Structure 1
Amino acid sequence: MSHNIPDHLKGLTNYEVAASREKYGYNRIDAAQKNSWVELLIDIVKEPMLILLFAISAIYVIIGDYGEALFMFLAIVAVSAISLYQDNRSKKALEALEKLNEPLSEVIRNGKVIQILTSEIVVGDLCITKEGEMINADGKIVHSNDFSVNEASLTGESLSVFKSNETEDNEVFSGTVSVSGLAVFEVKKIGEETRLGKIGTSISSITEEISPLQLQIRKFVKTMAIAGILIFLMVCAVNYYHTQNLLESLLNGLTLAMSVLPEEIPVAFTTFMALGAWKLMREGIIIKRSNVVETLGSTTVICTDKTGTITENTMHLKHLYDYHSDKTFEEQDFKDAALTELIDYAMWSSEPVPFDPMEKTLHRIYGETQKNDLRKSYTLFHEYPLEGKPPMMTHLFQNAEKHRIIAAKGAPEAILNVSILPESEKNKIRELIRDFGKQGFRVLGVAKTNFEGYNFPEKQQDFKFDFLGLVVFYDPPKKGIQDVFQHIYNAGIKVKVITGDNTDTTKSIAVQAGIFNTGAAIEGKEIVEYPQERLLQEVSEKTLFTRMFPDAKLTVVNALKQNGEVVAMLGDGVNDAPALKAAHIGVAMGNKGTEIAKAAASLVIINDDLDKLVTGIAAGRRIYANIKKAVQYIISIHIPIILTVSLPLFLGWVFPQIFTPVHVIFLELIMGPTCSIVYENEPMEKNTMLRKPRKMTDTFLNWKELAMSIVQGLIITGGVLFAYQLMVQRGANEEETRAMVFTTLIFANILLSLTNRSFYYSLFESFKNRNILFVVVNLLTLILLFAILYFPLFSGFFKVTRLSLTELGLAGIIAVISVLWFEIYKLFKRMLRNS
C-alpha cells in the first residue's frame, strides 16, 4: 500500500461496497432527474413558432381546409423533431462533458489503494485525501500525517485547521480543501446527507455568465418578436379592410408573423456552443461551461507558468556544488564521498513520499549513491511547509534512539539568508547561482541544523543553518514548444511567463522556447508594491514575471484585465486557484494539476500540452465565425420572405397573397437545418489563426456588420419581386406567378447559403473546405422543389403550376444576379487588402 498508509487499513470488500450502495445510494448532490424527454417537449411546445403553427392549423380546420391543416400538423411534427434533435444533441454533449469533469477519488478497498469516480464513494469507504485535493464526502479521520484542511466553503473561516484522529475535532466535510499532508477518513455521509448537501449548494456549480453575444442575440430576437406582433396587427387590419374576412385576415397576419420570427438564431447559438465544447472534449480539452468556447476565440493574452508547461518537468540532476570542498561535480561523479552529506540532506529535506519531480530525483540519487539507506529507520515528526518569499522548507526526522536530522532546502537566496556565512562567501555563491541560472538550470540551496528539545521556533527562518551546497537541475523545454509559441504569436496573442523560479533560469528557458521580449523581467515582490498606473504599464510591457507568489499572480491577472485584455491563465497548484478563477479562462493541466486548480479552472487540458490551448482558441474562432455566418444568412433570407409576404398586400398588387403559411413554413423548414446543422459543421477558414483576436465586447450584431446582411436581403427581395412583376406583365395567373416567385426565392436561398460560407474568400475557394452537409441539404431542397413544381399532388397543394425550362432558367438567372454580386464585392475586398 502506498502513501505510508498503515497496513491494518484494509477498507471495504466488493460485497460491502454493493451492500452500502444498496442502502445509501450514490454520492451525488442533485434532485431526482426529471423526465427529460417530457421536459424537452414542454419547452419546445412553448416555442413561439409552434404556437403560431397551432393557431394557423386551428384556422384551417375552422375554414375546412383539412389538407392545409394536415400539412401544418406535419410541419409541427417536423419543427418539433428538428428542435428535439438539436436540444438532445446539445444535452448529450453537455452531459458527456459533465461526466468528464467529475473528479476521481482515492479509496482503500480490498486492502488496495484505487481510484474511483467521486459519485461511486459509499458510506464506510476509507478515502485518502492529500494536499491540494477536494474532500468529496463527510467522514471521520482514522489516520493522518501533518494534515490540515481549509473549511472556508462551509464556515467562511479562511485559516486552515490541523486535524488528526487524536484531535477532538476529527471530522472532515465534503466541499472542503486539504491544505497540507495526508489523511485517511472513514466515510460517514455522502451526497444529499453531507453538510454541503444539506445546504443544498454544490461547490462545483458555477453560475453561467451571459456573454455579450448571448445578450445581443436575446435582445435581437426580442426586437424581431415585437416587430412581428406589430406587422401582424397591421396586416390583419389592412387585409380585413379589403376583404372583411376575419379568418383570412388572421391567416395572412400569422403568415407574416411566422416569416418575421428568427427563432433559428438562439437554437443555433446553443447548438454551436454545446457541440463545440463536445468536439474539443474529443481533442483532450475539457470545457466546464459551453459559453467559454466563445471567450476562447477572443483570447488576447496567455499567462503560462514555466515548469511542466514550457518545460518537460523531468528535473534531471545535472550538477552538485559542495560548499565544504568548494567544488562543482558532474553527473558521473555523484558517488564521490565528498557529496555524501549534501545528497543526504537534500533527500531528507524532501517529502518522505515525494510527488514533486525534483524530490523524486533526489530520492533516486540518494538510493543510487548512499551505502546505508536510512529512510526506513527515521520518521518525520515535525515539518515547516514550503513558504516565505523566496520560499524554503524544513523537515525534522528522528529514529528510535531519538537521533535527529534537521534538513532544509529552497530557493538559494532563502537558504543563504538563514545560513551562518560571511557576506563575502554569500556573494561568491550568488555569483555561482547566477551562472547556473543563465544556462537555464533550476538551483536549490541545501542546509542543516541541530536542535534539542521540542520548543521549536515558530518560523523555520529562526533556526541557524549550516550551508551545505547547491543541487542543480535541468528541466529542458518541451520538444516542439517553439512551434506552439509561433502559432500563438501568429494569432496575434501575447504571452506572459509567470513563474516561481528565478529570473536568470526563466530568461534562459524562455529564449530557448522562442518567447519574444525576454530582455527585462520583474519579480513578484516588486509587482505588489507598484502604484496602479505603473502596474498597468509594467504588465503591458513585460513578458517575464519571476519569483511570483499567489497574490502577485492575482495582481498581474487583474491588471491585464483592467488593460482590456482577455486573459487565459494556466495554473496547476492550490496557490494558482485565485488567479485561475479571476482570469477570463482559467486553464488547468490534467496530469500535474491539483483538484483545486481543476475546480477553479474553466478549461482542463488532459495531457498538459500547451498546443491544445491553441487548438481551443482556433475552435473558439471557428465557432464564432460560423455563428456569425449562420445568423447573417438567417437575417438575409428572412428579409425577402417578410417583404414578399407583405409588399404585394400593402401596395395593392394584383395577387396580394402570393405566399400562404404553407410556403413560409416550407422555407422555414429548409432554413432551420441549414442554419444550425450545416453551418455548425463548417471547417475553419485558412487565415483564421493569422488574424488578431476580436474584441470580446464586439459582436456581429451591430449595424456595420448587419448592414451587409440587410443589403443582401434587400437585393434578393428586389430579384424576387422582379420575377413577380415579370410574370404579371406576361399575363401569368396567380399559380404561375407564385411558382416563379417561390422557385426564384429557393434558388436564391441555396446560393446565399453557399456564398455566405466566407465573407472574404470566393465561393470556389470555400468549396475546398469540405462540408458534405451543404451538398445533402441543398440537393434535398432541389428535389423537394421539383416535386412541388412537377407532381400534380404537391403542386395542387402548394397552389403552383409547372415552370417551363425557360422560366426555370430565368428564375436561376435572377437568383444568380441577386445573390452572386456579393462575390464581386468580396473580390474587391481581397484586391484592396492585397494592394
Structure 2
Amino acid sequence: MPINQFNIKGLNSEQVNSSREKFGRNTLNYKKENTFLDVLLRIAKEPMTILLLVASAIYFISGETGNGIFMVVAILFIASISLYQNSRSKNALEKLKDLSQPHCKVIRNATRIEIKSEELVVGDFLLVEEGSSITADGTIVQSNDFSVNESILTGESLAVFKNQEDPFIYSGTIVASGLAIAEITTIGNETKLGKIGKSLENINEEKTPLEIQVSNFVKWMAIAGAIIFVLVWIINYWQSHHILNSLLQSLTLAMSILPEEIPVAFTTFMALGAWRLMKLGIVVKQTKTVETLGSATVICTDKTGTITENKMSLAKLFVLKNNAVVRAEEELNDSEKELISYAMWASEPIPFDPMEVALHQAYQNQIKNDDRPNFKLVHEYPLGGKPPMMTHIFLDKKGNKIIAAKGAPEALIRVATLNKNEIQQIHSAIELLASEGYRVLGVGVSNFAGDEYPTQQQDLPFEFKGIVAFYDPPKKNIQRVLEAFYTAGIQVKIITGDNAATTASIAKQIGFKNADKTISGDELMALSEKELPTRVMETAIFTRMFPEAKLKIINALKANNQIVAMTGDGVNDGPALKASHIGIAMGKKGTEIAKQAASLILLDDDLSKMVDAVAMGRKIYTNLKKAIQYIISIHIPIILTVFIPLALGWIYPNIFSPIHIIFLELIMGPTCSIIYENEPMEPNTMSQKPKPLSATFFNFRELSISIIQGLFITMGTLSVYQFAVANNYNEAITRTMVFTVLITANIFLTLINRSFYYSILTTLKYKNDMVLYIVCITIALVGLILFVNPLTAFFEFETLNSPQLLTSISIGFVSVIWFEIVKIGKRAK
C-alpha cells in the first residue's frame, strides 16, 4: 500500500532548510567534554608534568638555564604528543558516534526517505513503527493500533496507546506496537527529554575491570614513587647538604618510577581499536566493548538474515481444502491466489519485513485487480502470543471488511476450527516443507461481523486457509565463518523463532555442529533450575524462541561463566542483547530498539565481521599486554640504576639527572603507544582459546616475565657501571656507557617483545613500518647526543671510543636477547 494513501506530502527541500535555520539541528547540546582546554588542564594535572615543572623551576633557580629550557621544551613536546594521541582517539570516537547515530523515516516531497535523527526538523512528518525509537517530540496525524513505551520519561513500563485523544509523542520513547505518522513540533534541547536530560551531564560512565586495574596499578606506583622520593631526598641531603640538588636527584627517581605511559596506551589502544573496527564495518558504541571481544566463548546467532541471506522468496503454497503443495511460480488456481491475497492482507500495509515484501510482490504479480488503495487499515493486532501470530482488519468505503491473520502454523491451528484429519494434513505439509529448509507461515481468515473487537486476536473465530512457504538461502560464506569460530574455541548456538525442522535443515546444509541437539522455547521454560545450565550448554539450536526464553538462555550461559555474544535485529531481541556481554545488532535489518540495546552494530549484517571483531579484540588485548610489559620491563632498570648507586654509596651516586630520564621517557612513550598499537595479529591468535574476562595484565605470571627482563637489563647497566669504574673511567664516560646500554637494551627489548612466542627473526618480517621509523629516530637522536659535542656536553656525556661503545652495545644486546632461548623452549613444547 503506497505511503501517499495518507495524503501527506511533507516538507520540500527549501522548507527543510528554512526550518533548520530557525530551530537548529535535532541534537542534545549540553556540557562540552574533552575540549582542547580540558585536555590541557588534564595534562597539567598529570604527576609527570608536575614533576617536570618542579625540575625545570629548580634548574632556573639554580642558574642552569640550559637545563631549564630543555625541561620546558620536553614538557611542550610531551603535551603535544598527548594532544595528538587525544585528537586521534577523539576523532575515532566522533566517527563512531556519527555512524551509531539513530536513523528515522520521514515523508518529504511526498516520498518516504530515511535520514539521520539529527537531520530531523520542526514540521517534518515522522513515520514510526514497532521497534523504532522516536527521535523528537510531535503530534500524531495518522495511527493504527499505535502504542509507545514512555518509561524513559515516566518510569512506567507498560505501553501507552496513542491516538487523536492522546496524540503527543516524545523523543527517547520507543514504539511498542503499530504504526503512526506524526508532525514534529519540537527538536533537540527543547524536547521533553532534552529539558530533563540536563541532569545527565553529571552521570559518569562506569570503569571496566581493565580500566580499574590500570588505574590502581598507576596509583600504587605513584604512591611508591612519592615514598621513595622523600626517602631519596633525605639520603641525598644527608650526604650533600645541598637542598636543591638533593631535590633534583629525588625528582629523577620519582620520574623514573611513574609509568604514565600505561593509561595513555590503554586509552589509545581502545579508541583506535574501535576506529579500526569501524573501518571493517563494525560500529562499536562503547570502546569498553573492545576489551571484551577477545574473551567471547559463545556466539548466539539468529538464523534469518544472519546465517541466511534474508532474501525471502515465496516458494511454495499449501491450500488446506486442496490438500496439495504447489510451487508459487506455477500457474495458480483461484484458491491458491486467494491464499496469497489473505497472506498479503495479514501483512503490514507498508511492508519492511522481507517475507511481507515477498507477499506484497506475489500479490502484485498474481492478482489482476489491486484492491490495496481501496482498503484502509482500521484495526491491528501486532505480532504476539506463543507461538506468535498477527491480525489485520481492513475496511473499504462500501463497508466491506477483510480480517486476515498469519503467523506460526501452530498458532493458527489453535484458533481455527479443524477436525483431526485436517490437522494431520496441515502437520504433514509443515513437516514436508520444513524438512526442505523452507520457512512456513500459517494463514487464516475471520468473518467477525461486529465493530467491538476482542482484546486478544486469539478470541476471533478463524478459518485456516493454508500455508505459505519461503526460501531463504544460506549465506555463501557462512560455513567458513562457523569454522573460524570453532577453530577459535568459540561455541555457536542458533536462537530463532522458526521451527526445529526448518532450522535443522539449514544447519545441516552449512555444516553446523550438533544440529540434532535442539530445544523449543516452551521446553526451555519448563526446565528446572538444576537442569537448565547443563541443557543450555549441550543444546546447539533453540527454536520457537520468545523474549523471555532468549533472556533465560543468555543468563544461563553467563551463569556457566561463558562470555556471551548475541546477535539480534528485532524488538524481542532487546532484553537478550542488553543482557549479553556483547550485544550485536544488524545495521541494515535491525530495529532501532535492537541497535540501542546492542554494544556493537554490523553495518552489512555479515556474521563474518564478528570473526574480524573477535580477532581484533584479541589482537588489541595482546598488543596492549606487550606494551604494558615493555613499559614495566624498561622502567625497572631505570629505577634501579638511579637508586642502587645512591643507596649503596657508589663512587658516582647520581648517575642520571632529570634530563636523562625525560629523554628516555620521550623514547618510551611513542614506542609503546605507536609501535605496539600498529603490530599485526600474530599467526596463532585465532587458534587459541578465548582469554578469561577476569584475566589481568598484572597477575604474577605476566609481571614475573617483565620483572625478570627488567632485572637482566639492570644487571647489564650496573655491570657496565662497575666495568667503567674498574677501568678508572671518569663519571662522564661511566654515565655515557650506562646510558648506551639502557638505550641498546630498550631497542632490542622493543623488537624481542613483539612476540612472546615467535622468534625475533619471525617478528622482523611482520608488517609494521612504525618499528623502523621509531628505531631509526631513536638511533639518530642517540647518535647526535653521543657525537655532537654541544649536545654531548649538555647531557654531561663524553664521546666513547670504539671498544667502549662496542662493549656498551654488546652488554645491552645480551641483557635482553636471552629471552629468545625462553621462546625456543615455548615453541618446543
Deviation per CA, 1:715-735, whole angstroms, max 9, x where unpaired? 000011111111111110001
- 1:390/1:413 contact within 8 Å kept: yes
- 1:639/1:713 contact within 8 Å kept: yes
Aligned to 1:472: 469
Per the alignment, in what secondary structure is the counterpart of residue 461 of structure 2?
A: coil
Aligned to 1:568: 565
- The change in CA–CA distance for 1:448 and 1:616 in structure 2 (over 3 A counts) is same
1:379 CA displacement = 2.3
Aligned to 2:429: 432
After the TM superposition, which residues 210-359 of structure 1 pair with which residues of structure 2 at under 5 Å, given as runs? Answer: 210-359=207-356
Say whether residues 1:671 and 2:689 are aligned partners: no
- 2:745/2:816 contact within 8 Å kept: yes
Say whether residues 1:587 and 2:596 are aligned partners: no
Aligned to 1:6: 6
Per the alignment, in what secondary structure is the counterpart of residue 59 of structure 1?
A: helix
Aligned to 1:650: 647
- The change in CA–CA distance for 1:108 and 1:474 in structure 2 (over 3 A counts) is closer
Q: 1:528 aligns with which of 522, 525, 530?
A: 525
Moved more, 284-293 or 353-362: 353-362
Say whether residues 1:116 and 2:115 are aligned partners: yes
- 1:334/1:369 contact within 8 Å kept: no
- The change in CA–CA distance for 1:379 and 1:334 in structure 2 (over 3 A counts) is farther
- 1:104/1:118 contact within 8 Å kept: yes
Deviation per CA, 1:551-575, whole angstroms, max 9, x where unpaired? 1111111111111111111110111
- 1:4/1:353 contact within 8 Å kept: no
Deviation per CA, 1:282-325, whole angstroms, max 9, x where unpaired? 11110011111010111111110100000011122222112212
- The change in CA–CA distance for 1:102 and 1:198 in structure 2 (over 3 A counts) is same
Aligned to 2:497: 500
Aligned to 1:45: 44
- 1:29/1:202 contact within 8 Å kept: no
- The change in CA–CA distance for 1:824 and 1:39 in structure 2 (over 3 A counts) is same
1:334 CA displacement = 4.2
Aligned to 1:126: 125
Q: Which whole-Å CA distance do the structure 2 matches of 1:600 and 1:39 have between them?
A: 31
Per the alignment, in what secondary structure is the counterpart of residue 376 of structure 1?
A: helix
Deviation per CA, 1:138-189, whole angstroms, max 9, x where unpaired? 111122233221111111222222222x22x111111111222222222222
Q: Which amino acid aligns with 2:587?
A: G
Structure-1-length-normalised TM-score? 0.97
Q: Which whole-Å CA distance do the structure 2 matches of 1:27 and 1:455 have between them?
A: 41
Per the alignment, in what secondary structure is the counterpart of residue 186 of structure 1?
A: strand
Aligned to 2:28: 29
- Size of the aligned set, in residue pairs, is 829
1:399 CA displacement = 2.5
- 2:30/2:198 contact within 8 Å kept: no
Q: Which amino acid aligns with 1:658?
A: I
- 1:175/1:203 contact within 8 Å kept: no
Percent identity, please. 54
Aligned to 1:66: 65
Moved more, 175-184 or 327-336: 327-336
1:605 CA displacement = 0.4
Per the alignment, in what secondary structure is the counterpart of residue 464 of structure 2?
A: strand
- 2:318/2:429 contact within 8 Å kept: no
Per the alignment, in what secondary structure is the counterpart of residue 385 of structure 1?
A: strand
- 1:346/1:362 contact within 8 Å kept: yes
Aligned to 1:659: 656
Please, which runs of 5 or more residues in structure 1 have no aligned partner?
none
Q: Which amino acid aligns with 1:198?
A: K
Q: 1:789 aligns with which of 765, 786, 789?
A: 786
Q: Which amino acid aligns with 1:61?
A: F
Aligned to 2:772: 775
Q: Which whole-Å CA distance do the structure 1 matches of 2:330 and 2:348 have between them?
A: 25
Q: Which amino acid aligns with 1:3?
A: I
1:417 CA displacement = 1.5
- The change in CA–CA distance for 1:285 and 1:470 in structure 2 (over 3 A counts) is same
Q: Which whole-Å CA distance do the structure 2 matches of 1:669 and 1:594 have between them?
A: 48
- 1:477/1:513 contact within 8 Å kept: yes
- The change in CA–CA distance for 1:177 and 1:496 in structure 2 (over 3 A counts) is same
Q: Which whole-Å CA distance do the structure 1 matches of 2:235 and 2:2 have between them?
A: 83
Moved more, 121-130 or 813-822: 121-130
Q: 1:626 aligns with which of 615, 623, 628?
A: 623
Say whether residues 1:397 and 2:397 are aligned partners: no
Moved more, 418-427 or 73-82: 418-427
Q: 2:614 aligns with which of 617, 623, 632?
A: 617
- 2:265/2:673 contact within 8 Å kept: yes
Q: Which amino acid aligns with 2:38?
A: E
1:2 CA displacement = 4.6
1:34 CA displacement = 6.2
Say whether residues 1:538 and 2:535 are aligned partners: yes
Aligned to 2:692: 695
Per the alignment, in what secondary structure is the counterpart of residue 227 of structure 2?
A: helix
Aligned to 1:137: 136
Per the alignment, in what secondary structure is the counterpart of residue 318 of structure 2?
A: strand
- The change in CA–CA distance for 1:201 and 1:438 in structure 2 (over 3 A counts) is farther
Q: 1:749 aligns with which of 742, 746, 750?
A: 746
- 2:31/2:201 contact within 8 Å kept: no
Per the alignment, in what secondary structure is the counterpart of residue 182 of structure 1?
A: strand
Moved more, 36-45 or 323-332: 323-332
Please, which runs of 5 or more residues in structure 2 have no aligned partner?
none
Q: Which whole-Å CA distance do the structure 2 matches of 1:636 and 1:810 have between them?
A: 22
- The change in CA–CA distance for 1:207 and 1:798 in structure 2 (over 3 A counts) is closer
Q: Which amino acid aligns with 2:69?
A: L
Aligned to 1:376: 373
- 2:294/2:690 contact within 8 Å kept: yes
Moved more, 576-585 or 432-441: 432-441
1:122 CA displacement = 2.4
Q: Which amino acid aligns with 1:810?
A: T
Q: Which whole-Å CA distance do the structure 2 matches of 1:138 and 1:579 have between them?
A: 28
1:590 CA displacement = 0.3
Q: Which whole-Å CA distance do the structure 2 matches of 1:162 and 1:651 have between them?
A: 81
Per the alignment, in what secondary structure is the counterpart of residue 530 of structure 2?
A: helix
1:603 CA displacement = 0.1
Deviation per CA, 1:266-297, whole angstroms, max 9, x where unpaired? 00000000000011111111001111101011
Structure-2-length-normalised TM-score? 0.97
Q: Which whole-Å CA distance do the structure 2 matches of 1:35 and 1:329 have between them?
A: 64
- The change in CA–CA distance for 1:747 and 1:611 in structure 2 (over 3 A counts) is same
- The change in CA–CA distance for 1:343 and 1:203 in structure 2 (over 3 A counts) is farther
Q: Which whole-Å CA distance do the structure 2 matches of 1:771 and 1:79 have between them?
A: 24
Q: Which whole-Å CA distance do the structure 2 matches of 1:600 and 1:320 have between them?
A: 37
Aligned to 2:811: 814
Aligned to 2:74: 75
- 2:585/2:601 contact within 8 Å kept: yes
Moved more, 590-599 or 100-109: 100-109
Deviation per CA, 1:77-108, whole angstroms, max 9, x where unpaired? 11111111111111111111111121122233
Per the alignment, in what secondary structure is the counterpart of residue 504 of structure 2?
A: helix
Per the alignment, in what secondary structure is the counterpart of residue 154 of structure 1?
A: helix
- 2:134/2:170 contact within 8 Å kept: yes
Q: Which whole-Å CA distance do the structure 2 matches of 1:43 and 1:311 have between them?
A: 49
Q: Which amino acid aligns with 2:295?
A: S
Q: Which whole-Å CA distance do the structure 1 matches of 2:190 and 2:340 have between them?
A: 50
Q: Which whole-Å CA distance do the structure 1 matches of 2:331 and 2:491 have between them?
A: 42
1:4 CA displacement = 4.7
Deviation per CA, 1:586-625, whole angstroms, max 9, x where unpaired? 1000000001111111100001000011111111100000
Per the alignment, in what secondary structure is the counterpart of residue 681 of structure 1?
A: coil
Q: Which amino acid aligns with 1:745?
A: L
Q: Which amino acid aligns with 2:53?
A: F
Q: Which whole-Å CA distance do the structure 2 matches of 1:11 and 1:470 have between them?
A: 39
